[in-house]
């Protein structure tokens, strides 16, 4: 006879599942001896900060210069010099000095050049400092710069250019060179100027002598034949009128004719000498303009920016790799 258990199969399944859950909970793994204890939490990781290097924009001030806005270009170059160090600042300082000189602010340009040479003494263009200062200064400041250059035991090409430029300016303005600074070209120029001055003095003395006859000095100097002839004619007419008045004892008329007669006679040598001096200055400028070999030569400036990276386009190609030679092992 079969015995039927009163418990339903569904209840057995529930009991089995509960037993499995109890076993699983008892077998939960731990993470170490601090399991279940309160510990300090670690701080949160900060967000990573990324920095990008700023590059100077030289195209903007260049575009302003090309459009003729030099004042805005100067401000843009000054901003670049303030924000970027190293070669970029050196390039900006050179541009600032150039624009300041173009705008007529020579004192500021000289100060900028001094700042540039002080901050970048090894820059290829730092040796231009004395030349630029001599070019941008005047009076006692310029004389101090030139005197310092003249006392240097060894002078560069820029130093000689600064000294000779001063010699050339003196030759053009005064026609006389007071100091050649030991430059051979300046000494030759001094000799030529002395010859020109001697010729001018002789011409001036001759014009003053012949001007005792009013109008003759102007004719001698080839200034204006009509003016010289008219002066001579007026002087002769006044002289004849004076003599005629004296002969007829019209002394009042004689005095009236004598005053312009004497004025023309006394003024003629003065006018001739002044004209001769003006012609001497013109002749000196013409002679100096024709002396191409004596004109100042400015050395070529080094580039404002560092040299570009070397080009590898013209390098010879590497030789082709040779295949390894086959070796034959000796036979036994």
The residues spanned by each domain of the chain are 180-298
pLDDT in the model for residue 20: 64
Whether the CB-CB separation of 70 and 102 falls below 8 Å is answered with yes
Q: What is the DSSP string of 53-87?
A: ------HHHHHHHHTT-HHHHHHHHHHHHHH--HH
* 71, 77, 83, 100 from 93: Cα distances, Å: 15, 8, 12, 10
Under 8 Å between Cβ of 273 and 215 = no
Distance separating alpha carbons of residues 284 and 175, to the nearest angstrom: 7
CA distance 299 to 131: 10
**What's the confidence (pLDDT) of residue 227?**
80
- Degrees (nearest 5) of the Cα angle 309, 315, 316? 165
Residue 114 burial by Cβ neighbours in a 10 Å radius (0-12, 13-18, 19+) = middle
DSSP-derived secondary structure letter, 7? S
pLDDT of residue 229: 82
| Residue 314 DSSP one-character state | T
- pLDDT for 328 equals 43
In the chain the first and final C-alpha atoms are separated, in Å, by 95
The per-residue b/e assignment along 148-169, b for 16 or more CB within 10 angstroms, e otherwise, is ebeeeeebeebbbbbbbbbbbe
Contacts of 280 (CB under 8 A, 6+ apart): 175, 196, 197, 200, 203, 204
Runs of H (alpha helix) within the chain = 9-26, 59-66, 70-83, 86-102, 106-119, 129-136, 139-150, 157-173, 184-210, 216-220, 225-247, 251-290
Sign of CA dihedral 216, 219, 224, 229: positive
Q: Is 209 exposed, middle or buried (0-12, 13-18, 19+ CB in 10 A)?
A: middle
Evaluate if pTM is beyond 0.85. no
- The one-digit pLDDT tens for each residue of the chain (332 residues) are 444 555 455 666 676 666 666 655 555 555 556 555 665 655 655 665 555 667 888 999 999 999 999 999 999 999 999 999 999 999 999 999 999 999 999 999 999 999 999 999 999 899 899 899 999 988 898 999 999 999 988 999 999 999 999 999 999 998 889 899 999 999 999 999 999 999 999 999 999 998 888 888 888 888 667 788 888 888 889 889 989 888 888 888 888 888 998 888 888 888 889 999 999 999 999 999 999 999 999 998 887 665 444 443 444 454 554 554 444 444 43
DSSP letter (8 states) at residue 108: H
pLDDT at 33: 61
Q: How far apart are CA 185 and CA 244, in angstroms?
A: 63
Return d(Cα 203, Cα 259) in angstroms, integer.
30
CA atoms of 100 and 236, how far apart (whole Å): 61
pLDDT at residue 75, as a whole number: 95
Please report the pLDDT score of residue 54 as a whole number.
Answer: 75
CB 189 within 8 A of CB 265: no
What number of CA atoms fall less than 13 Å from residue 243's CA on the CB side?
A: 5
Chain centroid to Cα 134, Å, comes to 12
Please answer whether residues 128 and 101 qualify as being in contact, where contact means their C-beta atoms are separated by less than 8 angstroms: no
320 in Cβ contact with 185 (< 8 Å): no
């Amino acid at each position: 006879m079969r015995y039927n258990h009163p418990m339903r199969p569904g209840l057995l399944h529930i009991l089995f599942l509960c037993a499995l859950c109890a076993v699983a909970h008892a077998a939960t793994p731990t993470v170490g001896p601090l399991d279940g204890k309160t510990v300090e939490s670690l701080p949160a990781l900060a967000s990573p900060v990324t920095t990008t290097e700023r590059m100077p924009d030289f195209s903007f001030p260049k575009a302003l210069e090309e459009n003729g806005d030099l004042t805005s270009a100067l401000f843009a170059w000054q901003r670049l010099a303030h924000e970027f160090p190293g070669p970029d600042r050196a390039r900006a300082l050179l541009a600032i000095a150039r624009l300041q000189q173009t705008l007529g602010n020579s004192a500021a340009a000289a100060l900028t050049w001094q700042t540039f040479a002080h901050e970048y003494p090894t820059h290829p263009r730092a040796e231009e400092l004395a030349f630029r200062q001599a070019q941008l200064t005047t009076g006692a400041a310029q004389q101090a710069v030139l005197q310092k250059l003249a006392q240097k035991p060894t002078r560069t090409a820029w130093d000689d250019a600064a000294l000779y430029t001063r010699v050339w300016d003196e030759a053009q303005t005064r026609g006389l060179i007071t100091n050649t600074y030991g430059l051979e070209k300046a000494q030759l120029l001094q000799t030529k100027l002395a010859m020109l001055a001697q010729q001018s003095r002789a011409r001036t003395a001759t014009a003053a002598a012949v001007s005792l006859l009013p109008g003759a000095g102007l004719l001698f100097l080839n200034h204006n034949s009509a003016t010289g002839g008219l002066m001579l004619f007026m002087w002769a007419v006044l002289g004849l009128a004076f003599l005629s008045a004296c002969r007829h004892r019209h002394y009042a008329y004689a005095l009236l004719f004598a005053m312009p007669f004497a004025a023309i006679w006394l003024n003629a040598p003065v006018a001739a000498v002044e004209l001769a001096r003006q012609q001497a200055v013109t002749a000196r400028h013409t002679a100096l303009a024709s002396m191409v070999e004596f004109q100042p030569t400015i050395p070529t400036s080094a580039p404002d920016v560092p040299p570009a990276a070397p080009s590898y386009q013209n390098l010879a190609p590497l030789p082709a790799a040779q295949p390894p030679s086959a070796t034959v092992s000796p036979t036994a």
